[in-house]
A = this chain, B = another copy of it.
Amino acid sequence: MKAVVHVGKLGFDGLTYRDMEMPQPKAGEVRIKLKTTGLNHRDLFVLNRHTPTEPPLIIGSDGAGIIDSIGEGVSNVQVGDEVMINPGLGWKETSDAPPPGFEIVGHPFHGTFAEYVVIPAENVIEKPQYLTWEEAGVLSLAALTAYRVLFTRGRIQPNMKVLIPGIGSGVATFLLQFAKAVGATVIVTSRSQDKCAKALELGADKAIDSNEDWNQALCGEKMDLVIECVGAATFNKSLDQLRTGGTIVTFGASAGDVMQLNLRQFFYGQFNLLGSTMGSAEEYKEMIKFIETHNIKPVIDSMYTLDQFSQAFHRMETATQLGKIGFTIS
């Protein structure tokens, strides 16, 4: 079968589209013939920072497709079922952190940028009917991340004012959609006028230019909740917009890991800074129920074929996209 693999060298030179052996499901596992898959910042991160212990490694975390073969003892699905994948391995109940041994599909184990993937049967759920294959394939990791960030960590409430700096990534668009579905007031920022316009179409109450003085653009109005995934480049601007006693959730740092924090301002403000990443199987199920209830569909930026992987990665690396970038496989 064909797959996009990380051959062991860091960066784009480490990525190839090539033949890989057809994987076989063991007990408790299923094989899925993938229809679609989604690209995540995590894939970029794996490519640039992680050398697989056993290259070549098929990368990719998201996917949807049809069950094609099942291992011994699998009873929750059968061959022919239309499913999507929860990419979190080994985190069942919601807790303050994943248990030891938690991993994500696509590193260190083979992922979904391939014609077939073998994963534990407990990691598949029935594809909601109202989602297209494209929508189902690009949804999981980003929507799960957004769900934990907003509900478990940020404890969003309908009357809250929420700021999402850097509307563009798949997670950011889910954050916007989820927060609006809850009934919150949502303000987003972007350097791109197009993204600002698109965010307003998606329901944002206000969209401001990232380069503006945010405090001025918001007339001094402070936020109950700020969701930060840009990182060092915007973190202190984000913090400046928080009301005393407010919460900032961080789950990404695409524009810089290390920032300077003024502790005195922080504790005088009685602020809360909460880190988040991924989510549990329990949160995954809650998220699916939530999007079904509110008829939420992923915002799809663009779809490629797997052999066009470098164009897709390039689009993400240059932050050109708004919403999810995906691959059509079959």
The answer to whether A269 has its CB under 8 Å from any CB of chain B is yes
Query: In which size bucket is the chain A interface?
Result: 35 or more
Chain B residue numbers with a CB within 8 Å of A265 are 257
The answer to whether A261 has its CB under 8 Å from any CB of chain B is yes
Q: How far is the CA of A258 from the CA of B261 in the complex (A)?
A: 5
Whole-angstrom distance between the Cβ of A159 and the nearest chain B Cβ: 14
The answer to whether A277 has its CB under 8 Å from any CB of chain B is yes
On whether the beta carbons of A267 and B277 are closer than 8 Å, the reply is yes
Q: How far is the CA of A130 from the CA of B181 in the complex (A)?
A: 55
Question: Given known contacts A268-B277, A269-B275, A275-B272, is B259 in contact with A260 (CB within 8 Å)?
Answer: yes
CB within 8 Å of B: which of A77-104?
95-98
Q: What 1/0 flags go to A235-266 for Cβ under 8 Å of B?
A: 10000000111100011110011111111111
11 contacts between A and B (CB under 8 A): A98-B244, A235-B263, A253-B263, A253-B264, A257-B262, A258-B261, A268-B275, A270-B276, A271-B275, A272-B275, A273-B273
Which residues of A are in contact with B by a Cβ distance under 8 Å?
95-98, 228, 231-232, 235, 243-246, 250-253, 256-277
